[in-house]
Amino acid sequence: MSALGGLNKTPNGVVIGVVQLQLPLIKTRHDLARQTEKIVAMVGKARRNMATMDLVVFPEYALHGLSMDTNPEIMVSMDGPEVAAFKQACIDNSIWGCFSIMEYNPGGNPYNTGIVIDDQGEVQLYYRKLHPWVPVEPWEPGDLGIPVIDGPKGCKLALIICHDGMFPEMARECAYKGAEIMLRTAGYTAPIRDSWRFTNLSNSFSNLMVTANVCMCGSDGTFDSMGEGMIVNFDGTVLAHGTSGRVDEIITAEVRPDLVREARKHWSVENNIYQLGHRGYTAVLGGAQDCPYTFMKDMVAGTYRLPWEDEVVHTDGTSCGFERPTRRYGETKLGEAAE
């Protein structure tokens, strides 16, 4: 149950609102300032819309749109006016907020960054997208891992961004580090609709974890984003789903981290997050706790290689108009090792 979208809030409930924000077109600093004001106004709408709301979640690209423009003039820093405005909005409306920025990076391409700000205006979660949507996105691969924080009402909260959610390892990492609620912000367009839906369900069910997921919405004259706000319970049940495609609609639901904790303790069948590391515990004491997965071992060893590796056609961004990179991961634009 979603408690009628959070209207009937229970003592253990966390009410989340995901914003199907109108897709903007951003080219200048003036456009950026105007979009910042729009997001701030939508934080206020979220609070007026649902007095019980604990956390409002904006999609990836909420500030910058889908142009993939890496122009330094419109990139954002954590100490810049845009983040300051988001902090103040959370204070003014006594609400937690999740926001998206394209973060200036002096040593390479910008980072696709997500932040969660608490109701006192403090940044509690700072995440850089680990898996940019190649070959389309030019962003630097994230280097901060996946943080898990104490979110509103003490819930364990994580954030991943868009394409991250297509890798089951990402949601698994969130759950392994204790996340009871995982946010997934995105800018996806309509061709990804089915994949978006079933991965959101799978990410929840496979990890006994609530997921709150949302895309940009509407058109910027070139791209058509789909909205598709989805709040999914830990058993894979959809609690709320924005299927209308209506821009600036806020999809809400109450979720129950206490029931996540209960399921993780008491489920036997399909407690997959536990059973992954305790294979066959009915047959052998404690289950097998080895790592039988070749891809895991190879990735740790730095030797990850597919059987069809040499046949893969797209291995850089040239098909999308980007120059082939020459700088390796960990190097700055000057060829020095990153700190």
Residue type, 83: V
CB neighbours of residue 312 within 10 Å: 8
Count Cα atoms within 13 angstroms, Cβ side, for 285.
0
Q: What are phi and psi of 179, to 5 degrees?
A: -60, 130
Catalytic residues: 60, 129, 162
User: Contact at 8 Å (CB) between 152 and 125?
Assistant: no
Quote the crossing angle between the two packed helices 81-93 and 29-49, to the nearest 10°.
10
* Helix/strand/coil for 273: helix
Amino acid at 156: K
Burial tier of 334 (Cβ tally within 10 Å: 0-12, 13-18, 19+): exposed
Exposure letters 48-65 (e unless 16+ CB within 10 A, then b): ebbebbbbbbbbbbbbbb
